[in-house]
């Protein structure tokens, strides 16, 4: 099952690469911004509960898709870019088994 989930996430990462290619930004921007959603981990500096909430909001697929489609609807490429980067980052996280966090421990995720 774990390999099936990884394969699915690799396909989603591929979709995010395709969506990025439609935005006509330079590729260095994609790779340069790919890890920026992990700034959501800074919430853990306050406490585990707050950190998990902030991390999960940033890594939630629903929010990412809303951001992307809002940008598409409004015709604002920078908003679409934010959605694509968040989407790509989350799928890559899940390829490496970094899932959404439970509030008890940073290492306790929905994938393990």
Mean pLDDT calculated for residue range 70-91: 97
pLDDT tens-digit readout, 19-75: 999 999 999 999 999 999 989 888 888 888 898 999 999 999 999 999 999 999 999
Residues 74, 9: Cα–Cα separation, whole Å: 28
Burial of 90 (0-12, 13-18, 19+ CB in 10 A): buried
Residue 97: the pLDDT is 83
3-state secondary structure 51-103: HHHHHHHHCCHHHHHHHHHHHHHHCCHHHHHHHHHHHHHHHHHHHCCCCCEEC
Checking if the pLDDT of 112 tops 80, the result is no
79: pLDDT strictly greater than 70: yes
Q: How many CA atoms lie within 13 A of 22 on its CB side?
A: 14
3-state secondary structure (DSSP) of residue 108: strand
pLDDT at position 111 is 67
Maximal CA-CA distance, the chain: 41
Report the pLDDT value the prediction gives residue 14, as an integer from 0 to 100. Answer: 97
Q: What is the mean pLDDT of residues 83-109?
A: 85
In the structure encoding, which two tokens stand for residue 11, read together?
């396909």
- End-to-end CA gap in the chain: 12
pTM comes to: 0.89
pLDDT at 2: 82
Q: What is the pLDDT of residue 74?
A: 98
């Amino acid at each position: 099952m774990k390999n099936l989930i990884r394969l699915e996430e690799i396909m989603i990462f591929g979709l995010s690469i395709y969506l990025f290619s439609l935005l006509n930004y330079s590729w260095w921007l994609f790779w340069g911004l790919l890890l920026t959603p992990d700034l959501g981990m800074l919430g853990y500096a306050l406490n585990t509960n707050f950190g998990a909430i902030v991390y999960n909001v940033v890594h939630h697929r629903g929010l990412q898709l809303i951001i992307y489609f809002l940008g598409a609807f409004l015709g604002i490429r920078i908003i679409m870019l934010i959605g694509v980067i968040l989407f790509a980052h989350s799928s890559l996280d899940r390829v490496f088994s970094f899932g959404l966090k439970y509030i008890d421990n940073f290492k306790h995720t929905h994938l393990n």
